[in-house]
Structure formats: C-alpha cells, structure tokens
Amino acid sequence: MTLRALIFDVDGTLAETEDLHRQAFNDTFASEGLTWNWNRDTYRDLLKTTGGKERMRAHADKHNIAFTAEDAAQLHAIKTRRYADLVDRGGLILRPGIAMLIIKAQAVGLKLAVATTTSPQNVDRLCQSCWGQPANQIFDVIAAGDEVPRKKPAPDVYQLALNRLDLSADQAIAFEDTANGVQSAHAAGIRVVVTPSIYSTGEDFTGADWILPTLLPANWTADLARLLPAA
C-alpha cells in the first residue's frame, strides 16, 4: 500500500535524551534521600526495561528493596518535573536528519505520529525545546506508554497509534533506536527503521527493515529512498 504516515519513537530516536533522563533520575533520588545513583553502564542495563516507573521497580527488585507501585508513581512525577527543567535549559537537539525528514513529510501530506513509552509531557517538552512548538503542532497523533496495557516490546502503543491515525500497518513506517522498539513495531506489522542511539549501539535489531547510523538522506538505502519524501 501507499505510505501514509511516519511513526516516531521519542527518547533516543528524535533526540539523544537518555542522559538527561539519567541525570533527572539521579537528581530526584538525591533530593528524596535515596542512595541510588545510576551510572551509564547501570542505566544502559536498566533501559532494557521500558518505562521510567517500571525501570525504578526493576532496580528495586534486583536489590531486594521494598518499593511499591505508588512509590514509583510519586517518584516518577518528581523525576518528570526535573527532566522538564533540564530540557528547558536547552539540553536537547534533534538527531541528524530528523528535522528535514519531518519538514518534507509534512510538505507531501504524510501523517506524523509518536509511539513512545515516555509521558506526553516529556514529548511536549522535547517539541518545545527543539521546534519551539507544542507536540500537537508537530505530530497528528501522540500515543504514550501509560495509555496502553503493555509497554514495548509489546505492540500495544504502535497499535494505538495506528488506530488513532485510522491506518493499517502497511501504510506506515516506524522509526526506533532500540531492540525493544524494533520488536514493538515489528509485532504491530509495521516496517521499521532503526538508528541506534548512544545507549542502544550493539543491541540485537532482528526484525528491523533498515539499520542506519542516522536519518541523513546520504544513509538511506535505495528502497527506503523510494518510500520517504526526498530531503
């Protein structure tokens, strides 16, 4: 079928956000009197668990720490505000090729969507930081992790995005940076481009249709170039 939409993951795909998330977690832990401190190696391992609240619970479980779902929700709300503060300081830039691809997609009438495990507030903050506009002025549809029963690598959030777009899986291409994201899009039946981020390099991207270093057009394969709007 004809391509009708591009669906983007957020963290690590639109921008290299994960180190800011890690800093926000660590600042939150310190402010709330927790001795947790996640270095890059620890955080890389924790990223195998999708969702910030789930990530904290995975850490607590690993270390046999009593930590309830309510604890996670309360701490994550503080972390989300801290992350927003860091983003507002200008800590993010779009990954190479993203800005031009979105401009060209809009010019030819493709729908744009987000399918993410992060919160809608974080999506909005990123868009304000990188585009100077709220997310709903960039993307036609935003599907976030807490809106679905299962997070990536389950296909739920991509299925939600497709439902809101009113499109079938073969009318879209997904853009991801992690193995969990690739599995999620693939399970939803969507063709997927993966551009590994600083935290996902070396993961197993089985199921990806294209593996590229960045979304700069010079990296596109011939078959992908036939599908995407020329930059």
| CATH topology for the 18-88 domain | DNA polymerase; domain 1 (1.10.150)
Our answer to whether residue 9 is catalytic in this structure is yes
Burial environment of residue 70 by CB neighbours within 10 A (0 to 12, 13 to 18, 19 or more): exposed
| Active-site hit among 11, 156, 177, 209 | 11
Of 121, 183, 124, which is closest to residue 156 (Cα–Cα)?
183
Domain ranges of the chain: 5-16+93-227, 18-88
Neighbour count for residue 62 (Cβ, 10 Å): 10
**Residue 90: what pLDDT?**
79
The pLDDT averaged over each successive group of 10 residues in the chain (231 residues) is 94 93 95 95 92 95 94 95 88 92 97 95 92 96 93 97 98 97 98 96 96 96 93 56
**Residue 92: what pLDDT?**
87
Q: What CATH code is assigned to 5-16+93-227?
A: 3.40.50.1000
Our answer to whether residue 11 is catalytic in this structure is yes
Whole-number Å distance between alpha carbons of 19 and 40: 8
Neighbour count for residue 226 (Cβ, 10 Å): 10
